[in-house]
Structure 1
Amino acid sequence: MEAKQIVEATKALAKASTNDASPSNILNLLNEVKNGVVPSEDLLRSTKVGVMVNKFKQSKNPEINRLAGEIVKKWREDIQKQKDSASRKGSPAANGKATPTRRESPAPTSDGSRSTVPPDQRDHKKDKVDIKRTNQQTRDNSIGLFYNGIAFMSTASPNSILERAVGCEKAVFDAFGPETNKAYVAKVRSLFQNLKNKSNPKLRTNVLSGNIPPERFVQMTADELKSAERREQDEQLQKENLKDSFVPKEEKSISSSLQCGKCGQKKVSYSQAQTRSADEPMTTFCEFLLNLLRV
């Protein structure tokens, strides 16, 4: 299939995913791209056919789910073989000169295997990681924020953290982009603050390990992002507030002789309590009902 045909097939898959197309129709379309597409990284990126096929891995239909998974797996293997082959071609030749290989984006400047920076001080600059992955400064800066949040208190390799940071930024971009949208900026900042929260290490661990996929992470509510301890504290506070709401309050007398110095009205409630020695007069506490002024 030529690029134009692949684009048309991608559009057909997108349409099928939104109009409740029959499973047989979807399977036919998937088989068409499976048999007709010779994958390359540039081709999949430009036509977005890989993204569309990958969406069908979430299908509730087991046949569609399985076929989409097979296609994605095969394409990834084919592309990896292409990269391995290019890498071998780029190794020193008999004349001692290396043939340069094409690289889509700069690789991390560190070896990617480990970081010598203390876990509580890690960020992409100290780890010497190149975050320029999209050729768009705002998005690259967002990748840096996600890296800093995930790397905090982590001993994981820079490469694995960077991979997850890139995935998180892409998920935000897909859901709230473009990067000029206020919703995109607000979501990145909010998620970074939750990742950097010292009391929520489990969130960082789950995001890094993939237990919380990027697509799920960016859609989590504020309550879902909380740590278990914080959620328990909030629930306890709600219980206490509910309990307090059922505690009977002290009844107060209402006087028409006392006048509010602020509004001039005479709707005043008052109560008395012994705040000084027993042989001295009781203290009168007044609350003006219209403006809740207390004296």
Structure 2
Amino acid sequence: MDAREIEAKAKALGKASGQEESATVILGLLKELQTGIRATEDLLRRTKIGVVVNRFKQSKSPEVARLASDIVSKWRTEVNKQKQGGGAAASRSSNSPRPPQNGTGPSTPASATPSDKASKLSVPPDKRTWKADGVDINVTSSKVRDSCTGLMYDGLCLGSTESPKTVLTKASAVEKAAHSYLGPETKPEYKEKMRSLFQNLKNKSNPMLRVRVLSGEIAPEKFVRMTSDELRSEQQREADEAIKKKNMNDAMVAQGERSISTSLQCGKCGQRKVTYTEAQTRAADEPMTLFCTCVVCGKSWRQ
């Protein structure tokens, strides 16, 4: 497969996931990728297919999760072998300097190299912050904007193994997009949006949001314009829909008929049109409690 075909498969997988296609459809797409790709670092980086497949490791289908894990492991092994082979070949050449670990090809971005990714993380992924990573967030001339860049960094780096340089680049891009969309930084809309994005990035029930933003699946310009509903995960939407459905069903259950009395008088409007129900709220040998509602003014009380 060439890069264009791989990108088409990635889109098909994303669509299948969003539409909750059957495991059979997803397995078919994954098997085509398993047999049709000879993985290279440049190819995986350009097509971002590794990020897409990696998401299916969390699939509810054991078969899909297992196959996705096998594919990612296979590609990682192939890329590592290529790096080791390239390093050995360079060491045998006395006429040229040894290439850096990440290669020297023009298509390899310097901001996301494996060596950078591995060597500059000094704390566990779940303990990362811009301070813990030793990152300089002063990238603008505004303290407010720099503080928001740090906020985005803290949201994006949580649980991630991406290099500090990569995370800072993405955090700066998000802040810049938000400033362009809602700025200047003195406007409350800008500050509220940055706080909202941070809270969504830190949400433990929506870990894929961080991955999608860091990988570029969600561009910064789109990210800062997403509504609160769009920012939520599919699982969160399903849970809310289930609660909404339950509340609707409960509301449709027939209510017990309430008695109407003309002997009870409303203390607010003085009318004697009062509905009531009885309940034993005290000891069994004590009288029942009346829960009353005036049908004229709506006042409720108990006696």
TM-score, structure 2 normalization = 0.56
Separation of aligned partners in 2, 1:183 and 1:279? 61
2:150 aligned partner: 144
Alignment pair present for 1:188 and 2:194:
yes
Distance in 2, Cα, partners of 1:163 & 1:275: 63
Q: Map residues 40-51 of structure 1 onto 2, 5 A cutoff.
A: none
Structure 1 SS opposite 2:120: coil
- In structure 1, what residue type is equivalent to 2:134? K
User: Which of 1 and 2 has greater Rg?
Assistant: 1
What whole-Å deviation, never above 9, does each CA across 1:71-124 have from its counterpart, x for those lacking one?
xxxxxxxxxxxxxxxxxxxxxxxxxxxxxxxxxxxxxxxx77531212222111
Q: What is the DSSP-based 3-state SS (H/G/I as helix, E as strand, rest coil) of the residue aligned with 1:189?
A: helix
**Counterpart of 2:249 in structure 1: which amino acid?**
K
Q: What's the CA shift for 1:231?
A: 1.1
Residue 200 in structure 1 maps to residue 206 in structure 2: yes
> Which residue type is aligned with residue 132 of structure 2?
K
Counterpart of 1:159, as a letter, is K
Per-residue Cα deviation, 1:8-38 (whole angstroms, up to 9, x for no partner): xxxxxxxxxxxxxxxxxxxxxxxxxxxxxxx
**2:60 corresponds to:** none
Question: Residue 153 of structure 1 aligns to which amino acid in structure 2?
Answer: G
8 Å contact from structure 2 (residues 266, 294) kept in 1: yes
| Alignment partner of 2:229 out of 220, 223, 234 | 223
Report the Cα distance in structure 2 between the residues aligned to 1:192 and 1:208, rounded to whole angstroms.
14
1:293 aligns with 2:292: no
- Alignment deviations for residues 230-281 of structure 1 (CA, whole Å, 9 cap, x no partner): 2111100110111122111111122222023355443310123567899986
Is 1:122 the counterpart of 2:136? The answer is no
Tell me if the contact between 1:115 and 1:127 (Cα under 8 Å) persists in the aligned partners: yes
Task: Give yes or no for the alignment of 1:179 onto 2:185.
Answer: yes
Specify the code of the residue in structure 1 equivalent to 2:131.
K
CA distance, structure 2, for counterparts of residue 160 and residue 285 of structure 1? 63
SS in 2 for 1:142: helix
> Which runs of structure 2 are paired with 1:57-206 in the superposition (5 Å)?
113-206=119-212
The secondary structure found in structure 1 opposite 2:291 is strand
Cα 1:279/1:190, change in 2 over 3 Å:
closer
Residue 288 of structure 1, CA deviation:
3.0
Aligned to 2:6: none
3-state SS in 2 of match to 1:291: coil
Match of 1:267 in 2: 273
Q: What secondary structure is seen at the aligned counterpart in 1 of 2:145? A: helix
The 1:269/1:166 distance shift into structure 2, 3 A limit, reads same
Matched residue of 2:177: which SS?
A: helix
Q: Which amino acid is 1:271 matched to?
A: T
Assess, with a 3 A threshold, how the Cα gap between structure 1 residues 275 and 210 changes in structure 2: closer, same or farther: same
In the superposition, relative to structure 1, how do residues 255 and 144 fare at CA in structure 2: closer, same or farther (>3 Å)? Answer: same
> Can you list the C-alpha shifts for 1:122-173, whole angstroms capped at 9, x where unaligned?
1111100001111111111110000000011212110110011011001101
Cα–Cα, structure 1 residues 292 and 222, in superposed 2: closer, same or farther, change >3 Å? farther
Among 282, 285, 290, the alignment partner of 1:284 is 290
Q: CA 1:138–1:277 in 2, change beyond 3 Å: closer, same or farther? A: closer
CA contact 1:114–1:156 (8 Å) conserved in 2: no
Q: CA RMSD in A?
A: 2.3
Displacement of 1:207 in angstroms is: 0.8
Q: 1:33 maps to what in 2?
A: none
Contact 2:265–2:273 (8 Å) recurs in 1 = yes
Contact 2:259 2:276 (8 Å CA) reproduced = yes
The corresponding residue for 1:105 is: none
The alpha carbon displacement at 1:195 in A equals: 0.6
Aligned residues: 185
Q: Say if 1:182 and 1:283 are closer, same or farther in 2 by CA, change over 3 A.
A: closer
Q: Could you state the TM-score of these two structures normalised by the residue count of structure 1? A: 0.57
Structure 1 residues 14-29: aligned runs within 5 Å: none
